[in-house]
Amino acid sequence: MSDPNDRSMQDLKPTVWIGKQGCTPPMIDEIVAQLKTRKVIKVKWLQNTEVDPEAVATQAKAILVDVRGKTMILKEKKKSMGK
């Protein structure tokens, strides 16, 4: 069966929308800021915008949980102890 957290992630409302300019540095800053407060966020982008979800996750230092269509779910990376 699926993880109970899967349902809660599907029910998330998008908190970041990437527009026609694509994923700019200020957009990455916003994603990082929201990850600090929410831990898990949903990001959507316009149909005519090319976005590489893996690149966004790498730039934001986040974990890419899921991608469906023009929507991705990002999760805050756990800080490693001792480094």
- Residues β-bridged to residue 25: none
For 3, the token pair is 């993880």
pLDDT in tens, the chain (83 residues): 355 566 566 788 999 999 999 999 999 999 999 999 999 999 999 999 999 999 999 999 999 999 999 999 999 998 765 55
- Using CA atoms, how far residue 59 sits from 6, 13, 24, 43, 53, in Å, is 24, 22, 10, 14, 10
In this structure, which topology does domain 4-76 adopt according to CATH? Translation Initiation Factor IF3 (3.30.110)
Return the pLDDT at 80: 64
Q: Is pTM, for the whole model, over 0.85?
A: no
